[in-house]
Each structure stands twice: as C-alpha cells, then as structure tokens.
Homo-oligomer: A and B are copies of this chain.
C-alpha cells in the first residue's frame, strides 16, 4: 500500500471516529466547537500512530490516533486565542474563537485535552489496562509542563527576552512545542504492541525537528491561501526561527539531513517501514 493510500485511509478512519464520537454528544456550542476543532488537518500525528501500530502488528490503533489528534487540536485552539497568537484563520477556516467565541474556545480546548486522555484510557482502546495506563501516562508527560506546554512557555518567554534564541534554544523550544506530540504518536504503536520504542523514538526526534524546520520555511516562503493560516508572522515579529538562524538553504539542507537520520532509525524494520519513510519525506516536501 502506498503512503498516499495509507494516509488517506488513516484520515478517513479518524474522521469517521470523530463523527461517531460526536454523534452521541448534546447539541451545545461546546460540542459543536469541539467537532469544528478536530475537523480537517493533515492527520500526520494520527497517521504516525496507525502506521507505527501496523508496523508492530497492532491492528487497532484508532483510539490513540483520535487521542493525539484531539490533543493536537486543543493545542491549536488555545494557541490561536487572542491572548496567545491571536490568529483568525486555521486550516482555511475561522479559528475557533472567531467561529464561536473566546469562552467556548477555551472550554472546547479544555475538553479536547480531557478527551485525549479519555480515549487512551477507555477500555475499548486496548484490552490490557497496563497498556492503556502507559499510553496515557506517556501522553501526559509529552503534552504537559515538561513537554508541549513547556515549548509554548519557552516561546512566550523568548518574545520578551533581550536576545533572540540561538540554535540550541530554538531546538529545545521545538522539541517541546512540536516534537513531543510527534514523538508520542510515533511511539504509540510499539507501546500498543509491548515492543521496544527506541527505533520509533529516534525516528520521531529527527522527524519532529525536520517538520518544524519545514514549518519555518513555509512561514518564510509560503502562501497564506495554500497554508490555510497566516504566514510571515514569526519573521515580522523578529522571532528567531530555523530560517533566520540557518538561512533558507541551510534550513532546507538540515531538514533533508534529518529526514535521512529519521529513515536510518527505521533500518531494523526493512521494507515494512516504507510508509513511515514516505511520511518523513512528505513532512519536508509538503506545501502546507
């Protein structure tokens, strides 16, 4: 099966999963807002869960795939708020506080975070409670004050710092802000199967960094229409990015090198890892 087919399959399974989930909720702005927030997007994190699970012989990975997409969506909703990045457009649609209101966006983000944990811990996620606890505990470590939220806090701290971040600083920021959830997504498969997470962890560390460098390149060069969100904001705000520190060519070369590292980490799996290797190539060749 090609990467495109596998990605489309994962996108469709995730979309259907959210449809079933929200079909059973009350018709309140809160629930409509949550549904809006998990619509669209590339589903790259959910795909990593599904593909990583298949690679390790775990066929049912829908709950963790929905979980990581719910956590990712919560982070975008709160990141877009007026007090944070104050963005109006996301995935080509009005951001949640624009489509609804700020209070609903705050609450919907909160409830999406909770939903991420609930999905990992629901008995239907995996028959072994120890696996469910391991998935949810690692998700908490990846998304909280030592993981994703730490990255966002470092980002805010950098805005008021006297000097822009250097390469080490921005790499640490990225490891939290983007890397931690990508890492969890890649590791979820071996966790579901009780297998060694080390190769997928190495793959995800390189992939996460390449992904963020590409985000910076797209923000630098990109087209707001194609991206479905505002571009050029970081450079406009005088923020350090991989592009400002390495130059566009240097950033592209570094991303390409990281993708090679990510693919090397999957060598133990041989041809079975073809779709994850294609996903890494996609992460740096995408246009949005």
Contacts and interface: CB of A to CB of B under 8 A. Distances in A.
Nearest to A141: B118
B113 A101 contact: no
Interface in A145-193: 145-146, 149-150, 152-154, 156-157
Of residues A78, A101, A154, which shows the largest number of chain B Cβ atoms within 10 Å of its Cβ? A78
B107 A149 contact: yes
Interface string A128-146: 0110111011001101111
A31 to B, nearest CB: 6
B117 A101 contact: no
Contact of A144 (B84, B118, B140): B118
Contact of A106 (B26, B83, B141): B83
Contacts of A122: 137
A101 to B, nearest CB: 7
A134 B149 CA distance: 25
A184 to B, nearest CB: 12
Contacts of A107: 78, 149, 152-153, 156
Given A78-B110, A83-B101, A117-B117, A28 B136 contact: no
Main secondary structure of the interface of A (DSSP, over half): helix
A103 interface: yes
Contacts of A28: 150, 153-154, 157
A152 B28 CA distance: 11
A104 interface: yes
Contacts of A157: 28-29
Interface in A194-229: none
B114 A31 contact: no
A153 B30 contact: yes
A265 interface: no
A173 to B, nearest CB: 12
A149 B114 contact: yes
A121 interface: yes
Nearest to A101: B83
A261 interface: no
Nearest to A26: B150
A274 interface: no
